[in-house]
Amino acid sequence: MVKIDKIEKKLVETASKAMESAYVLWGLKVGAAVLAEDGQIYEGCNIESWISGLGTCAERCAINHAVLHGCRKIEAIAIVMSIQSHNEPRPCGACLQYIYDFADNPKIKIAMAKAENGRILSETVRVNTLEEMLPFPFKK
């Protein structure tokens, strides 16, 4: 198991709880949680739509939640995916760019794990920096 710090553990636990709220029509449940500049944790879940492209990923939902509360920067993020997924839990390309847009700096940590019914599978936990996962972000 990857060693994670206290904040990352809290973010993974919060994302795991948020995953249970996911609105899923055909996909899998995903939860996310961000540590925002105000020191608070804001969670999000994926919300699907029958209209292609209209739904949103959990990561963007969590960031939008932080923005709603006046935050413009995030300091860490966790993503938790259902154990039903065959894929490794990680943000999609669009979310990596969105995380970059609101990241305090490119070295913020992205914690990823799989979970089910609030139980986090410790062997699936992994932590990378944003710049490791998105080495060439779009910059204005």
Q: Is 123 a catalytic residue?
A: no
- Which of residues 35 and 44 has its CB atom nearest to Zn ion in the complex? 44
CB-based closest residue to Zn ion: 57
Distance, CA of 136 to chain centre: 19
**What minimum distance in Å lies between the beta carbon of 6 and Zn ion?**
26
Minimum distance from residue 120 beta carbon to Zn ion (Å): 20
CB of 122 to Zn ion, least distance (A): 24
Cβ proximity to Zn ion: between 49 and 122 the closer is 49
Nearer to Zn ion, 35 or 58 (CB): 58
For helices 93-102 and 58-68, angle between their N-to-C axes, nearest 10 degrees: 20
In whole angstroms, give the CA distance from residue 61 to residue 91: 12
Q: Compare residues 98 and 120 and give the one whose CB is closer to Zn ion.
A: 98
45 φ/ψ sector (left φ>0, alpha ψ -120 to 50, else beta): beta
Which is catalytic among the residues 13, 48, 59, 88? Answer: 59
3 state SS of 23? strand
Note whether 131 and 106 are within 8 A (CB): yes
Amino acid making up residue 23:
Y
Residues of this chain that bind Zn ion (CB under 5 A): 57, 92, 95
Total count of residues recorded for the chain: 140
In angstroms, give the least distance from the CB of 34 to Zn ion. 13
Instruction: Give the largest CA-CA distance in the chain.
Output: 41
Which active-site residues does the annotation give?
59
